[in-house]
Structure 1
Amino acid sequence: MLLPLRRLSGHLSRAVALSASADVLLPLRRLPGHLRRSLSTAASNPPWAMIYRLSETPNYTRGASFSLAPPPSATLFSIPERAYDLEERKRNPDRRYVNVHASVVFAASQDGLLLLKTTRIRLSAHTAAGLNLARPTEQEAKVVMEEAVEQEYVRYVCNPITGQLVRLPDYLGMKEILQTATGLLTQADGGHGPPKRYAVVELLELNDEGRFVVFCFSSDTGKWDATVRPSPLQPGRVMRLLNHEVLAFGGRLWWVDVSLGVLSMDPFSDKCELRHIKLPPGSVLPRQSHAEICDLIKYRRMGVSDGRLLYVEVSMEAPYQIRSFVLDEESGRWTLEHQVSLDAKERPLVGAIDPLNADLLYLNLGAEVIVSVDMRRNRIIAQSSVLASGIQPCYCGSNVFLPCVLPSFLGSSQIPGKKGAPKQQTLADALVRSDKC
């Protein structure tokens, strides 16, 4: 049963979920041949996952754990407790203190590796006693940060199939160099198969100076470098790089400002030049405040789908117009791909863009239901309860789902390490310092 979008209002509780039907088959027509084959032969895993980006509960295994589920169901993950602080294992337990753990997935590479950060916050037992640390409110989370005795941040590249974690070194001892505006790009020999190298790049804008600092970690060298690049933006305009993941597409990383456009660069190039492309006409907005951009990102999203870069937006007023645009890389122009109308009581949030089918979009309705929308046929073809995935609606707001493709070679490949270093012996779910691997 296909549900027309205009019938949605008031009928969320009666929406029908279609699991394994022809309507949810994902065409792979524009993907590179090697990736198309590897995705289609991974029988035990879905071809891609919609990863819930936040995790608060550590596991006690040797590696990361992902409960891979076919979208629109969410995939949850957990990180081993020792990954939050390697030195913590050497300390004697101290009952005067309580550790609070959290981890977040920043970005995915084009072939399924993930970039994530773990946070361990140490609180006095007295302070922790009055807090709901399992599900803290916004005010309780503020108390945790203000009353923290100690904070420890560790960054990793992760293989979601094997659970392997490779630790990134700190940049000159700076723990907080890795923020949300950080992306992960890989390269394979000959452009095919498992990645042979990767780069982790953070873009930091120097306000009102017309320059960006580019922090880049290379798996080939095992080191961070920093360079300064001129801004391609108009004078006086800044990029609001908040919450939106950095995209890996076409051999470049793409930083997204949902009020302005994108910046892209090739970190494997010696020049590392920044290029700027604006949003479609009519979508560019004046300079936004922090609060405005945090609200706007709920209803605008970019993603890589079917071998193309897509931009999706939801109009402000009902009936809500949902439009998707495709970028022509050569001209830098956007073409309207789809436009559908949605009658809903609340403005839908953009959950995720399907990475394999540019016709499919995932919307978050009322913070309780994720629906899969076929924009070409103007139909809802599947739905999933947020609660059924183990996610509380209050934690299901802006940009909390990350699309990640899962090619089959991930199950038999290791995360690349420094050139000339001994090859790792197994696919161990062990923690490996990338500057010593």
Structure 2
Amino acid sequence: MATASNNKEVAGVEEMMEWMNLTVAETYCSGKPCLTLIAIFAILTKSIRHPRQNKNPNPRHLLFHRPAPMSLPAREPVSDPGPQRPWVILGSIPLVSKADNFLPGTDVFVGFADPPRVSIASMPRRIAPDAHANIDNNNNYPYIVAVNDSTGRFLLHATQGLSHEPAVVERHDHIKLVHRGHAPAYFLCNAHTGAASRLPDPVGNPVLFPGNVGLIADPTTRADGGPHYVVAELQPMAGTAHATLLCYSTASGRWAEKEVLGYSPDHPPWGRDGVISFAGRLWWVDLSYGLLTCDPFARAPSLRHVPLPRGSVMAVAPRAGALDRQRCVRVSAGKLRYVQLHGILPETQMVTMWTLDHQDDGESTTTNAAWKREYQATLSEIWADGSYKATGMPKRAPVLAAVNPQNPRVVYFFLDAWIFAVDVPARRVLECDVCQMVDPPVELFSSRFVHAWELPPSLCPDNAASSTD
């Protein structure tokens, strides 16, 4: 039971958090986001949710009781998909702070928040020692590469100081996510226990690009019934129809290389726009071109190519980091969905969603798949609705953020420092709030920097206290 002094301390932090909420909102609305305030806010939030006097070493206390974001009255109900698990919008860039902000033995902590607010992972500097170091006048960010919906794990990339390799940098706008010259490391993180297990470095062929790395649950089970995982990177061989699948299995504890057939030598270097685990396969996304998919558990994996819907394939891809502001591929309601913001003038821009009808015959190098258009709406139609006017947001083209993983009608957008949900077929804004993320700057917000993470039952509030996995 908390003492009176503890209650006063918590009350004081709550008052500070309320001030921070107002200050951050006012700062954002002035067009001058203050990332320091956001970082302090995240730490204060964590101290309320996970007070240090709590002796429980496992940070399982998921608090879905932050003040509710602005919800707008619905004129008609959104289609009810039935009972659903909780889900969150997880920021891809975690907060890194001093070790004494964490309970002993805690490597990672996730402060969960109801959408549309962004949930933030935090970790001590020993996990990400290079975080925000000034390197060549750019920032070095740890990055959550992938999440696993079924088990509450996520894969983290964080560099570990200088290495002897030549410095080569991959940029996404002004954000550095890959740092050659800095030793890369990958951690499999457990949101249940707060543990982060570092994967061993591959011998010989290194992992090259976080944007080509995926995480998938292994059908093999541990002796205690727990899950195994495979981390895999697709490494095309330039100028050939071959590629290498570099795989790490928690079942074997080793890296292995598999030759993969079906990569087109005519395609430019793959876009590295993320990897999706779906239907027992990994799907590599290039937002200018399409998807490549294979079964990573097959002895001889064969790639299948799925082009984007007609009219969306681009002969020349724009600069890195541009397309994920207008396009994304996500899983929602058990199907792959492609969302695109397209059009020249803002008032005539449209939001369109397609659903993939996936049928793999196991023979051809192009998967027998068809994209079905689900819906389409113009931004002007959304702006004209009273629910949008009630938010007070300007009539400007937004940026894609996420898709509700349980209801494909609902798409999330960024606009300046706001994040809001739209029932696109109904042209109606459902909720809206100030978006508080550690990084990147507001002007670089995009779907690359958030994950729609459907939580497993063991991470739901009623079950979190009893979970031991």
TM-score w.r.t. length of structure 2: 0.66
Aligned to 2:89: 50
How much does 1:214 deviate?
Answer: 0.8
CA deviation map 1:3-49 (0-9, x unaligned): xxxxxxxxx99xx92089898989555xxxxxx7xx64xxxxxx111
Aligned to 1:320: 349
Aligned to 1:369: 418
Aligned counterparts of 1:22 and 1:76: Cα–Cα separation in 2: 32
Superposed counterparts of 1:250-265, under 5 Å = 250-265=279-294
8 Å Cα contact 1:159-1:410 kept in structure 2: no
Aligned to 2:278: 249
Aligned counterparts of 1:267 and 1:113: Cα–Cα separation in 2: 19
CA deviation map 1:327-378 (0-9, x unaligned): 1012400000010110375432110111111111011113x11110112211
8 Å Cα contact 2:93-2:439 kept in structure 1: no
> Does 1 or 2 have the higher relative contact order (CA < 8 Å, sep 6+)?
1
Is it true that 1:231 corresponds to 2:262 in the alignment? yes
Is it true that 1:300 corresponds to 2:340 in the alignment? no
CA 268–122 in structure 1, closer or farther in 2 if over 3 Å, else same? closer
How much does 1:138 deviate?
Answer: 5.0
8 Å Cα contact 1:187-1:198 kept in structure 2: yes
Runs of 5+ unmatched residues, structure 2: 1-28, 31-68, 131-138, 164-172, 360-367, 381-393, 462-466
Runs of 5+ unmatched residues, structure 1: 1-11, 30-35, 41-46, 89-99, 124-136, 413-425, 429-437
8 Å Cα contact 1:161-1:411 kept in structure 2: no
Aligned counterparts of 1:116 and 1:24: Cα–Cα separation in 2: 38
8 Å Cα contact 1:102-1:120 kept in structure 2: no
Aligned counterparts of 1:275 and 1:228: Cα–Cα separation in 2: 14
Aligned counterparts of 1:52 and 1:246: Cα–Cα separation in 2: 16
Any idea what SS the aligned residue of 2:70 has?
Answer: coil
Any idea what SS the aligned residue of 1:332 has?
Answer: strand
Aligned to 1:342: 379
Aligned to 1:435: none
Aligned to 2:336: 309
CA 188–376 in structure 1, closer or farther in 2 if over 3 Å, else same? farther
Is it true that 1:274 corresponds to 2:303 in the alignment? yes
Q: Percent identity?
A: 25
Aligned counterparts of 1:288 and 1:103: Cα–Cα separation in 2: 26
TM-score w.r.t. length of structure 1: 0.70
Aligned-CA RMSD value = 3.6
CA 168–369 in structure 1, closer or farther in 2 if over 3 Å, else same? same
How much does 1:241 deviate?
Answer: 2.5
CA deviation map 1:375-432 (0-9, x unaligned): 22111111121248887424524621111111122479xxxxxxxxxxxxx959xxxx
CA 19–154 in structure 1, closer or farther in 2 if over 3 Å, else same? farther
CA 222–189 in structure 1, closer or farther in 2 if over 3 Å, else same? closer
Mean CA deviation greater in 113-122 or 317-326: 113-122
Aligned to 2:210: 179
Aligned counterparts of 1:325 and 1:209: Cα–Cα separation in 2: 31
Is it true that 1:67 corresponds to 2:67 in the alignment? no
Is it true that 1:206 corresponds to 2:245 in the alignment? no
Aligned to 2:127: 83
Aligned to 1:221: 252
CA 254–328 in structure 1, closer or farther in 2 if over 3 Å, else same? same
How much does 1:155 deviate?
Answer: 0.9
Aligned residues: 350
Is it true that 1:356 corresponds to 2:414 in the alignment? no
Any idea what SS the aligned residue of 1:84 has?
Answer: coil
Is it true that 1:113 corresponds to 2:120 in the alignment? no
How much does 1:66 deviate?
Answer: 1.0
How much does 1:161 deviate?
Answer: 3.6
CA deviation map 1:127-158 (0-9, x unaligned): xxxxxxxxxx959x79x979xxx733321111
